[in-house]
């Protein structure tokens, strides 16, 4: 990822876009933050938000006409938030202590003619930038038309207080000046570096300025420049209207232009967001109940503090977070895709120091639900997968992240499991059954039942392929290894005469569809539907189950619909979960999340399990097992289609541990080759003959630590053979280690008459190169 | 990782091959291309190095994490 790609990605996430109120406000007051503080009764903090952008909160906060209301999202569910009234309530509370720190004097003087809100704003902004300010006011006091506002709305004390803040900036004020004559105007221009005309306070028809047909001074909108160089104007009733905030805005834009004019830089560059603009921020109103605005009890006084808080609490605090709301992973890391893109970019480009986003990159389930719900189609899964591939290429992928899953995949690809055969007694196959590694790992008996059924249903010949589709390598970002799995598969498949593939696993289906499109692939569910199998079953009729679609089926409604029709034929009432079909959630296994971040994976499964109290019905072995692992009663569709003995309760079947998953695969292969092809079963390896005695709590510990029973057998076998073992004389226990792959496995054990009692086992990745020898 | 590597109970183990109690000694270790020398209980006879469960799950796991993120 380069800087440009990063920028494009960051732009796509709209969470940091301005809320409607800020975008609608001519001077961009942060309405969301302001209202948020009011809602919490934090008046000083609310004041500070106003002080940041408003020129004179004590004035404007009382009289603002609040154009923000017209775009407030709340108006789609009740009335818009009355931000103007909330500002008035806020500035009626004591202000925070604030000190204005003007920039160093620039040695340039700007004349302000008239002191309406536009003139005062221009004076305030320019004085703080270090310009000397000279105000010429035709009336006896500063403020011009502001003095005409009823005192209950703008008390004189409030106006004076704000004018004192301006005075503190050493502004040179001239009152009762006759500003109308052309001579005054020309001298003003001659004696100052720039001039601003506050037109709401000092209109004159004598000034020599270019005018339109109606006789009005021509002023460029936003730049606020007249046709005479150095002369700027704003606040005119026909452009700013009676809108105080628009008058203030014109004064502000003029101040910006004057500053740029005097610095001799572009008047217009980078000012696209001066004034109201459109924002891309999306805010969902799903589940938002309509609420009317809080009425003001005392119209003259405005909102009381209690009323203001109640009104502010209606604010939606607009933000997007559509993806974070539905993804425990995105939520877990405390931010949102825009931030994650930056963290992942930094992680990749870091030269020295720790990479802090490795866990972020590797924990994503790659399910892609974020992209489905994002108004701008931000695909976090693509970002994470690209980052993983880059880490693998650069040798920066932590071995601990995926190695166990990859070892498990290599097991599936080894002769211990891998099998490619034509249908028994046939030398060709129109179809081949590819049950996938994890269905065989979870429920080998079912695989045998399905195959027996397929042999009956497809007399033209259905072969058998036991292997892995390579998804673990793909998810781990190991492109070369994935490619070699694909090549290996293609060789086996071609050897069978390129039959149509019948897959039972939705991940396999997707891997083949996306990466081996030359292989005709159908899911076992489509085949079952076509062949009207199974027929209506009395045992399941009337059962109510919630359907959990595996996340890998999201792009394949054809599979999801087939499932629903099969379920219906079986007499099962299917309930849809809140997120289903094209928006279904991952079970926590996808993308190897389960390997990288087991806690998060459990949370994802548990969240999914909580949606409905019903038993879940799914059609992915990993989904079923992940749900079962968090105590959810869950069925695989094959549990219904090919039921066990009467009286069994397959929804309560626990998730088999990692060791059992490998043993199941090895045994399935052995039993298939013996029963169908009459082949001799491979002899056991010597270490497999070692009998272990493992208490249930130790077995669970081993599974959590991903230490296989076979690993333990190998450690003890090697230790007993070599004698490299330490003894604890007090307890008689032995301890030994072995390094079968990039991890050293330790076992503490005791010999017993029937075998070896395993007390504990653990592993580490650091390799011991050797100790001293004497 | 030095002093906290070895707990008194780690030295209660005896090398079965050499029939000698373990002693604290310098051991070279390697991970993710980083090599360093630290102290572990070792057999002074054959050089067998014992890594205790507490150490493997604690300090070593921490160091592995740091080296992986380096």
Residue-level pLDDT at B2: 58
Residue-level pLDDT at A771: 58
Q: Around A470, how many Cα atoms within 13 Å sit in the side-chain half-sphere?
A: 22
Q: Is B54 on the interface with A (CB under 8 A)?
A: no
The encoded tokens of residue A146 equal 């502001």
Q: Do B56 and A746 touch (CB under 8 A)?
A: yes
**A600 SS3 class:** helix
Residue-level pLDDT at A99: 81
Q: Do B51 and A746 touch (CB under 8 A)?
A: yes
pLDDT band at A772 (very low <50, low <70, confident <90, very high): low
By C-alpha distance, the chain A residue nearest B9 is: A728
Please list every residue in chain A whose beta carbon sits closer than 8 Å to the beta carbon of residue B51: 737, 744, 746, 764, 768
First to last CA, chain A: 53
The encoded tokens of residue A63 equal 């009289």
For the stretch A154-207, pLDDT in tens is 999 999 999 999 999 999 999 999 999 999 999 999 999 999 999 988 877 899
**A481 SS3 class:** helix
Please list every residue in chain A whose beta carbon sits closer than 8 Å to the beta carbon of residue B14: 726-729
Global ipTM: 0.97
For the stretch A219-233, pLDDT in tens is 999 999 999 999 999
Q: Which of A382, A445, A468, A515 is nearest to A675 (CA)?
A: A445
Please list every residue in chain B whose beta carbon sits closer than 8 Å to the beta carbon of residue A743: none
- Regarding beta strands B23-31 and A767-770, do their DSSP bridges make them parallel or antiparallel, or are they unpaired? antiparallel
Q: Do B70 and A355 touch (CB under 8 A)?
A: yes
Q: Do B29 and A767 touch (CB under 8 A)?
A: yes
Q: Within 10 Å of residue A17's Cβ, how many Cβ atoms? A: 19
By C-alpha distance, the chain A residue nearest B46 is: A773
Give the best residue of B1, B9, B11, B16 to mutate against chain A (max A CB count within 10 A): B16
Q: Among B29, B50, B61, whose Cβ lies nearest the Cβ of A726?
A: B50
Please list every residue in chain B whose beta carbon sits closer than 8 Å to the beta carbon of residue A348: none
Does residue B4 carry a pLDDT above 80?
no
**If you average pLDDT over residues A387-409, what whole number do you get?**
94
Q: Is B8 on the interface with A (CB under 8 A)?
A: no
Shortest Cα–Cα distance, A743 to chain B (Å):
11
Chain B stretch 14-53, residues whose beta carbon is closer than 8 A to a beta carbon of chain A: 14-17, 22, 25-32, 35, 40, 42-51, 53
For the stretch A430-452, pLDDT in tens is 999 999 999 999 999 999 999 99
CB distance B39 to B24 below 8 Å: yes
Q: Residue count of chain A, please give it.
A: 774
Does residue B1 carry a pLDDT above 60?
no
Bridge partners of A748, per DSSP, are A735, A760
Shortest Cα–Cα distance, B58 to chain A (Å):
10
**Cα-Cα-Cα-Cα dihedral of A631, A633, A636, A642, to 10°?**
130
The encoded tokens of residue A569 equal 């034929």
By C-alpha distance, the chain A residue nearest B27 is: A771
**If you average pLDDT over residues A103-120, what whole number do you get?**
95
Residue-level pLDDT at A100: 81
CB pairs under 8 A between A and B: 106
**If you average pLDDT over residues A749-764, what whole number do you get?**
97
Q: Do A766 and B47 touch (CB under 8 A)?
A: no
Residue-level pLDDT at A240: 61
pLDDT band at A353 (very low <50, low <70, confident <90, very high): confident
pLDDT band at B30 (very low <50, low <70, confident <90, very high): very high
Shortest Cα–Cα distance, A80 to chain B (Å):
49
Q: Among A726, A760, A769, whose Cβ lies nearest the Cβ of B48?
A: A726
Q: Is B3 on the interface with A (CB under 8 A)?
A: no
Residue-level pLDDT at A540: 75
A706: left (phi over 0), alpha (psi -120 to 50) or beta: left
By C-alpha distance, the chain A residue nearest B13 is: A728
Q: Among A726, A763, A772, whose Cβ lies nearest the Cβ of B15?
A: A726
DSSP secondary structure string, A502-517?
Answer: EES-HHHHHHHHHH-T
Does residue A38 carry a pLDDT above 90?
yes
CB distance A444 to A483 below 8 Å: no
Shortest Cα–Cα distance, A355 to chain B (Å):
5
For the stretch A493-530, pLDDT in tens is 999 999 999 999 999 999 999 999 999 999 999 999 88
- Between CA A712 and CA A700 the distance in angstroms is 14
Q: Do A769 and B27 touch (CB under 8 A)?
A: yes
**If you average pLDDT over residues A33-54, what whole number do you get?**
97
Question: What is the set of domains in chain A, with CATH numbers?
Answer: 18-96+282-312 (no CATH), 109-263 (3.50.50.60), 322-397 (no CATH), 430-446+493-682 (no CATH), 686-764 (3.30.2310)
Q: Among A725, A760, A772, whose Cβ lies nearest the Cβ of B42?
A: A772
Shortest Cα–Cα distance, A399 to chain B (Å):
8
The encoded tokens of residue A725 equal 């073992």
More confident residue, A424 or A351: A424
By C-alpha distance, the chain B residue nearest A723 is: B17
The helix-helix angle for A696-704 and A658-677 (nearest 10°) equals 90
Buried b (16+ CB within 10 A) or exposed e, A690-722: bebebeeebbebbbebbbbbbbbbbbbbbbbee
Shortest Cα–Cα distance, B40 to chain A (Å):
8
**If you average pLDDT over residues A740-752, what whole number do you get?**
93
Q: Give the predicted TM-score (pTM) of the model.
A: 0.89
For the stretch A276-291, pLDDT in tens is 999 999 999 999 999 9
Give the best residue of A352, A725, A726, A751 to mutate against chain B (max B CB count within 10 A): A726
Q: Which of A266, A265, A233, A258 is nearest to A132 (CA)?
A: A258
Q: Do B40 and A746 touch (CB under 8 A)?
A: no
Question: What is the set of domains in chain B, with CATH numbers?
Answer: 3-68 (3.10.20)
Chain mean position to CA A104? 45
Q: Do B44 and A723 touch (CB under 8 A)?
A: no
The encoded tokens of residue A175 equal 């009152």
**A107 SS3 class:** coil
The encoded tokens of residue A225 equal 């420049």
DSSP secondary structure string, A401-465?
Answer: HHHHHHHHHHHHHSTTT-EEEPSTT-S--SEEEE--HHHHHH-HHHHHHHHHHHHHH-TT-EEEE
DSSP state of A297: S
Does residue A68 carry a pLDDT above 80?
yes
Q: Do A771 and B49 touch (CB under 8 A)?
A: yes
Which backbone phi and psi does A20 adopt, to 5 degrees?
-55, -40
Residue-level pLDDT at A774: 42
- Between CA A139 and CA A200 the distance in angstroms is 13
Please list every residue in chain B whose beta carbon sits closer than 8 Å to the beta carbon of residue A748: 53
Question: Which percentage of chain A shows pLDDT scores above 70?
Answer: 99
For all residues of chain A together, what is the average pLDDT? 94
Q: Which of A364, A474, A739, A391 is nearest to B31 (CA)?
A: A739
By C-alpha distance, the chain B residue nearest A762 is: B53
């Amino acid at each position: 990822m380069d800087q440009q790609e990063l920028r494009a990605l960051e732009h796509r996430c709209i969470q940091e876009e301005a809320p409607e109120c800020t975008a609608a406000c001519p001077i961009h007051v942060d309405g969301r933050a302001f209202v948020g503080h009011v809602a919490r009764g934090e008046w000083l903090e609310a004041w500070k938000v106003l002080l940041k952008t408003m020129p004179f909160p004590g004035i404007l906060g009382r009289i603002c006409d609040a154009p923000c209301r017209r775009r407030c999202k709340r108006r789609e569910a009740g009335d818009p938030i009355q931000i103007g009234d909330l500002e008035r309530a806020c500035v009626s509370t004591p202000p925070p202590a604030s000190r204005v720190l003007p920039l160093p004097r620039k040695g340039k003087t700007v004349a302000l003619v008239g002191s309406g809100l536009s003139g005062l704003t221009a004076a305030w902004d320019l004085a703080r930038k270090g310009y000397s300010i000279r105000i010429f006011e035709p009336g006896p006091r500063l403020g011009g038309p502001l003095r005409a506002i009823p005192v209950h709305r703008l008390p004189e004390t409030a106006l004076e207080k704000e004018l004192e803040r301006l005075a503190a900036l050493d502004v040179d004020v001239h009152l009762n000046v006759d500003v109308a004559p052309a001579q005054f105007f020309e001298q003003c221009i001659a004696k100052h570096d720039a001039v601003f005309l506050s037109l709401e306070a000092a209109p004159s028809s004598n000034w020599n300025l270019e005018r339109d047909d109606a006789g009005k001074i021509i002023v460029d909108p936003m730049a606020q420049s007249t046709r005479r160089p150095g002369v700027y104007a704003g606040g005119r009733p026909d452009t700013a209207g009676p809108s105080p905030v628009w008058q203030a805005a014109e004064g502000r834009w003029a101040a910006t232009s004057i500053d740029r004019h005097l610095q001799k830089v572009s008047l217009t560059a980078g000012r696209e967001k001066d004034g109201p603009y459109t924002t891309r921020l999306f805010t969902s109103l799903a589940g938002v109940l309509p609420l009317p605005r809080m009425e003001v009890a005392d119209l003259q006084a405005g909102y009381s503090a209690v009323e203001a808080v109640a009104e502010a609490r209606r604010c939606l605090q607009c933000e997007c977070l559509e993806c974070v709301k539905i993804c425990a992973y995105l939520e877990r890391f405390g931010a949102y895709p825009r931030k994650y893109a930056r963290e992942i970019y930094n992680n990749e480009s870091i030269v020295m120091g720790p990479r802090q986003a490795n866990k972020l990159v590797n924990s994503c389930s790659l399910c892609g639900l974020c992209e489905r719900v994002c108004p701008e189609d931000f695909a976090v899964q693509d970002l994470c997968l690209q980052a993983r591939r880059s880490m693998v290429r650069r040798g920066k992928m932590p071995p601990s992240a995926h190695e166990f899953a990859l070892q498990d995949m290599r097991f599936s690809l080894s002769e211990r499991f891998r099998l490619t055969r034509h249908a028994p007694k046939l030398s060709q196959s129109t179809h081949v059954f590819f049950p996938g590694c994890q269905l065989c790992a979870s429920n080998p008996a079912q695989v045998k039942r399905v195959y027996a059924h397929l042999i009956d249903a497809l007399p033209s010949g259905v072969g058998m392929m036991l292997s892995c589709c390579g998804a673990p390598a793909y998810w781990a970002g190991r492109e070369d290894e994935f490619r070699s799995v694909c090549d290996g598969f293609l060789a086996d498949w071609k050897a069978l005469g390129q039959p149509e593939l019948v897959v039972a696993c939705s991940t396999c289906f997707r891997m083949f569809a996306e990466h081996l499109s030359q292989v005709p692939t159908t899911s076992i569910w489509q085949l079952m539907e076509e062949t009207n199998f199974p027929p209506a079953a009395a045992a399941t009729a009337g059962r109510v189950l919630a359907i959990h679609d595996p996340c890998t089926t999201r792009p394949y409604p054809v599979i999801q619909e087939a499932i629903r029709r099969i379920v219906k034929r079986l007499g099962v009432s299917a309930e849809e979960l809140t997120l289903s079909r094209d928006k279904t959630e991952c079970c926590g296994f996808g993308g190897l999340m389960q390997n990288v971040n087991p806690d998060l994976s459990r949370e994802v499964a548990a969240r999914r399990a909580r949606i409905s109290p019903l038993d879940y019905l799914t059609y992915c072995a990993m989904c079923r097992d992940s749900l079962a692992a968090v105590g959810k009663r869950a069925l695989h569709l094959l549990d219904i289609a090919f039921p066990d003995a009467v009286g069994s309760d397959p929804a309560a079947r626990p998730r088999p541990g990692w060791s059992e998953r490998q043993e199941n695969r090895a045994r399935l292969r052995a039993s298939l080759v013996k029963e169908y092809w009459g082949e001799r079963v491979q002899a056991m390896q010597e270490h497999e003959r070692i009998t272990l005695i493992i208490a249930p709590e130790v077995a669970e510990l081993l599974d959590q630590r991903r230490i296989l029973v076979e690993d333990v057998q190998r450690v003890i076998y090697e230790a007993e053979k070599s004698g490299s073992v330490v003894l604890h004389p007090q307890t008689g226990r032995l301890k030994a280690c072995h390094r079968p792959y990039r991890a050293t496995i330790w076992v503490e054990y005791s010999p017993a008459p029937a075998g070896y009692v395993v007390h504990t086992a653990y592993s580490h990745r650091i390799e011991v190169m050797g100790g001293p020898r004497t | 990782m030095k002093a906290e590597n070895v707990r008194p109970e780690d030295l209660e183990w005896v090398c079965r091959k050499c029939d000698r109690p373990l002693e604290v000694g310098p051991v070279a270790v390697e991970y993710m291309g980083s090599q360093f020398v630290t102290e572990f209980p070792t057999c002074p006879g054959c050089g067998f190095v014992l890594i205790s469960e507490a150490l493997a799950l604690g300090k070593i796991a921490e160091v592995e994490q740091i080296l992986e993120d380096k």
